[in-house]
Amino acid sequence: QSVRILVADAPPPPPPPSLPSFWQTIAHQDIQAVRFPNSARTSFAAGMSADDDAYMALPADHESFRRDGVYTFRLTYGGGTMLAAGNPDWLTSTWTQTNWVTEGSPGTLTCLDAGCTKWNAATDCSKFKGLAKSDSGCAVLDGNGLEGCWFNVVGSICEWNGGMPVAHGWVADIMTLDLLWKTLPPPSPPTIGRRAQEAGPRSWS
């Protein structure tokens, strides 16, 4: 009588571990405390720390942040009328874009969360298309670049209805912009804003 021996296929190797991601705060503002200086429109710099009420520090080596042809950002607004918008998910927008933020156009936008989708669904000037250099004297960066208006502002030099203009005509008091590292953590201790690290209502109320 013959004996049949079954040999099971070897299980496939496990997938390689994904690399950790790191968010670095590159801009922050509490407009009820301070506005950005006009000089920031050309220097793209303000303050000394992400804990400052007006802060911007864009990396000189921004190409090192580009992965697969895109940059990944997270922009969060708080205060003002933001909570009255009706959905906490709309406080934050996460997306990729093909151009760096100091160019005149964001390039191609790809939304990564419900906040970005909601902002992008706005009409007229407040429609969020990514971030680019603003053509308004009231902003350093905004959500449509050189197309006019300055909604979805990053680096507000003026006030609009007592705060910062956001998609759908919402008004914000606080703004934090983060840039994603996808390979190595920032060199030296990363300058991560206290408000960006904290979770919970206190950060954005």
Mean pLDDT over all residues of the chain? Answer: 85
Q: Which one is predicted more confidently, 124 or 86?
A: 124
Looking at residue 88, its pLDDT comes to 87
The residue count for the chain: 205
Confidence of residue 155 (pLDDT cuts 50, 70, 90): very high
Residue 1: the pLDDT is: 61
pLDDT of residue 5: 59
Among 110, 40, 122, 102, smallest CA distance to 73 is for 110
What does the chain look like in DSSP terms, one character per residue? -------PPPPPPPPPPPPP-EEEEEEEEETTT-PPPTTHHHH-EE-SSTTSSEEEE--TTGGGG-BTTBEEEEEEEESTTSGGGS-GGGGEEEEEESS-TTSSS--SEEE-SHHHHHHHT--GGG-----EE-SSTTEEEESSSTTS---S-EEESS-BTTBEE-GGG-EESEEEEEEEESSSPPSSS----HHHH--SHHHH-
Please write the tens of the pLDDT for every residue from 86-96.
Answer: 788 899 999 99
For residue 147, pLDDT over 50 is answered with yes
